[in-house]
Structure 1
Amino acid sequence: MGKDFFIDIMTYVLTIIGILNPFGNVPLFMTLTKDQDPEIRKKMYNIIVVSGFGIVTGFIVAGDFFMNYLYKVGMDELRVAGGMILIVVAFRNLLGLGVSKESSGNIMSEKDAIRYAITPLTFPMLVGPGTISTVMIIHKEAGLIISVGAVAVTFLVMKFLFTISDWLDKVLGEVVLFVLSRVMQIFIMSAGVKLVANGIKGIFMK
């Protein structure tokens, strides 16, 4: 493993970071989980990192098989499905729906929090069709070791950002996080609408 190997990994890390946008998503996830117990919140962050890495790595290794042969779906169908999830979740959050009986206000039970961390926080908000298609292309260009290495470094960056989230909390402040949590629901819904629109467009243009 020479100098070129690490240069290749860092080049692809920058590409994946550009798609995942951890510097924008971590503050967003902080606003969406601000009402949770600190221990549950920390567990949600860990689940986001681990499940995100698992999903991306899984698509690197077996994405072609699952999408092209097992389920016979393409990126456009994935865009529509992911977009619909985002629209429904944002709509429920804006109207205060979907709170479990075990919860009080916006506080979720540990079980609900884990589910919420996986869907929609990890997929499709963090790991969406754009990320999946990007890493699958990187795999074809650079091979398994470099693509998985680049993904691992990217999620280590996200893990670091989550680690300093308490400090970011103090910098941003509770009021700012509250306002962002409400405003972001509109943008999340808009992103979902865009995913669905692009997916439908792609399906009918085939």
Structure 2
Amino acid sequence: MIAKELVMDILTYVLTIIGILNPFGNVPLFMTLTKDQKPEVRKKMYNAIVLGGFAIVTGFIIAGDFFMNHLYKVGMNELRVAGGMILIVVAFRNLLGLGASKESSGDVMSEKDAIRYAITPLTFPMLVGPGTISTVMIIHKEAGLFISVGAVAVTFLIIKFLFMISDWLDKVLGEVVLFVLSRVMQIFIMSAGVKMISTGLKGIFIG
């Protein structure tokens, strides 16, 4: 009975985290942003996104309060502004083809560069943003360490599965569709960045 309640609690929080992370929208986006990379490099990028995202979220569950409130003395609003600025810069450079990111110009990145790009900005702040961080920290306070980490682990397993079938989705969608999506998505990424900055500034100056 206790085990059943535990599983139900974890699944409930999984749905909450999935709603924030939006993997069903982000995975196709990541496919378009990595379409020019070699299959083995894309696979390593996807693994880096999953592992990096899980590590970031779990890290904030365990030590988020200490780092934000005591070590760096910053709040979620400051994090929103910083994350929004990163998204705007990346989207702007990709959209106009300024050559800042190699995937936007059709060049193949080295494995090292690909992993770095997978961590920032694909993992943070594109997938794991201030909204996700604040949500899991609240879940931790409500449900405890075991349930919160368990819910995060299940969520990233789902994201891992979506990445595993991405090659099939790639074949279904086709190169032209992915290219168009990659350019259209930059507008939405930039808009998300503007929204994050706006929300953060309102929180800082208005409260």
TM-score (norm 1): 0.96
Distance 1:163 1:196, change over 3 A: same
Asked if structure 2 preserves the Cα contact closer than 8 Å seen for 1:48 and 1:122, the reply is yes
1:104 Cα deviation after fit: 7.2
Partners of 1:99 and 1:196 in 2: CA distance: 22
Partners of 1:112 and 1:37 in 2: CA distance: 13
Q: CA RMSD in A?
A: 1.3
Residue of structure 2 equivalent to 1:60: 61
Q: How many residues align?
A: 204
- 5 Å matches for 1:5-44? 5-44=6-45
Residue of structure 2 equivalent to 1:2: 3
Residue of structure 2 equivalent to 1:190: 191
Between 1:105-114 and 1:164-173, the stretch displaced more is 105-114
**In the alignment, is residue 134 of structure 1 matched against residue 112 of structure 2?**
no
- 5 Å matches for 1:1-206? 1-96=2-97, 97-99=99-101, 105-206=106-207
Asked if structure 1 preserves the Cα contact closer than 8 Å seen for 2:81 and 2:196, the reply is yes
Between 1:1-10 and 1:129-138, the stretch displaced more is 1-10
Between 1:111-120 and 1:126-135, the stretch displaced more is 111-120
Q: Deviations over 1:87-143 (max 9, x none)?
A: 00011111222146xx97332221211111000000000000000000000000000
Using the aligned pairs only, state the percent identity: 84
Partners of 1:128 and 1:109 in 2: CA distance: 26
Letter in 2 for 1:52: G
Letter in 2 for 1:107: V
Q: Deviations over 1:142-173 (max 9, x none)?
A: 00000000000000000000001111111111
Partners of 2:44 and 2:111 in 1: CA distance: 9
Asked if structure 2 preserves the Cα contact closer than 8 Å seen for 1:99 and 1:105, the reply is no
Letter in 2 for 1:141: E
Distance 1:195 1:114, change over 3 A: same
Letter in 2 for 1:98: A
Letter in 2 for 1:190: S
Letter in 2 for 1:74: G
Letter in 1 for 2:12: T
Partners of 1:46 and 1:92 in 2: CA distance: 25
Asked if structure 1 preserves the Cα contact closer than 8 Å seen for 2:23 and 2:159, the reply is yes
Partners of 1:43 and 1:7 in 2: CA distance: 32
Between 1:77-86 and 1:104-113, the stretch displaced more is 104-113
Partners of 1:2 and 1:25 in 2: CA distance: 32
TM-score (norm 2): 0.96
Asked if structure 1 preserves the Cα contact closer than 8 Å seen for 2:93 and 2:101, the reply is no
Between 1:108-117 and 1:27-36, the stretch displaced more is 108-117
Letter in 2 for 1:83: G
Structure 1 unaligned regions, length at least 5: none
Partners of 1:50 and 1:157 in 2: CA distance: 12
Partners of 1:199 and 1:19 in 2: CA distance: 17
